[in-house]
Structure 1
Amino acid sequence: MIRNEITAELEAPDRLFQITHVSRTHTQLWLQADASSTHEYRLEVLFQDVTYLCTPFVLRGLSLRRAHPEQTRRLTGLHDLAVEPGWGVYLLSRSHDWFVVSSSPLWAEAKLSYSAEPVFWSYTGKEDIVVSMGTVK
């Protein structure tokens, strides 16, 4: 059975993430950290309804969580943004002001190789591949 969680944050401080896919309309963004000698599974994060992105293409470590109201005010003021109801500012790091404005991000751990399709395209519900899934609210 696939573990399905709703979490306030997703912490992966010792993993290397990269942007692996962006939809043609630039409204969907995938971050991926591959399995390694210290991590058995690929970890993937999907941002949907993306309206703004402020992050490098590769990040060492991930601390994904929704920004608090004061953080949201500061970042939207610095970037001259208006965040629509239903969207949030999701922080990616504890050391940098990297963030994504989107709907609630989804994440999944899966037994997949680097070159395999994203979990949310081809593998949702496949218990032999997907270990856990969740949403950051």
Structure 2
Amino acid sequence: MKTLFASDRKFALWSFNASHRQLILRSNPDRIARTVTRVEVYFGHVEFMSVRPSYSSLRISEADQGEITEIAARIPDGLRPGGTYLLGRDLRSFVISAKPAWREAECDFDAPSLFDFPA
């Protein structure tokens, strides 16, 4: 299992656009945790997901073949194309999608997403 991203910050499921199959997990600035930046993790071409509404920390890793086989057995229509990415240390939370990307920047709470692509 190869770790792609890890953070001890709190993350929340911020948005999912079904028509574009895009998922964003966000960690906003937090005065108590003394963070001043926003971090967003973007998953494009989402084929299937099993995610929680929030995470006290976030670790994204590529699933190995054994984990992929176990996840595929739980998906009603079988495994779809795309990478399988675990969100944590177990198989309860995962996304099947293109490879995730992340960005971090200082911005206001109500500023557009760091992945807000102009039309």
Whether these two folds match at TM > 0.5 is: yes
Identify, as 1 or 2, the structure richer in strand.
1
Which blocks of at least 5 consecutive residues in structure 2 are unaligned? none
Supply the distance in 2 between the matched residues of 1:71 and 1:62 (Cα, whole angstroms).
18
Q: Deviations over 1:111-135 (max 9, x none)?
A: 1222211111159xxxxxxxxxxxx
Match of 2:53 among 57, 60, 63: 57
Structure 1 residues 98 and 24, CA gap change in structure 2 (3 angstroms): closer
Do 2:3 and 2:59's aligned partners in 1 also have CA atoms closer than 8 Å?
no
Alignment of 1:21-100 (within 5 A): 21-25=15-19, 27-37=21-31, 38-80=34-76, 81-84=78-81, 87-95=82-90, 97-100=92-95
Do 1:34 and 1:113's aligned partners in 2 also have CA atoms closer than 8 Å?
no
Which blocks of at least 5 consecutive residues in structure 1 are unaligned? 1-6, 124-137
Task: List structure 1 runs of 4+ shifted beyond 6 angstroms.
Answer: none
What root-mean-square deviation, in Å, do the aligned CA atoms of Structure 1 and Structure 2 show? 2.1
**TM-score, normalised by the number of residues in structure 1:** 0.74
**TM-score, normalised by the number of residues in structure 2:** 0.84
Supply the distance in 2 between the matched residues of 1:29 and 1:69 (Cα, whole angstroms).
24
Supply the distance in 2 between the matched residues of 1:36 and 1:9 (Cα, whole angstroms).
23
Supply the distance in 2 between the matched residues of 1:99 and 1:22 (Cα, whole angstroms).
14
Instruction: Give the share of equivalent positions with the same residue, in percent.
Output: 25
Structure 1 residues 26 and 10, CA gap change in structure 2 (3 angstroms): same
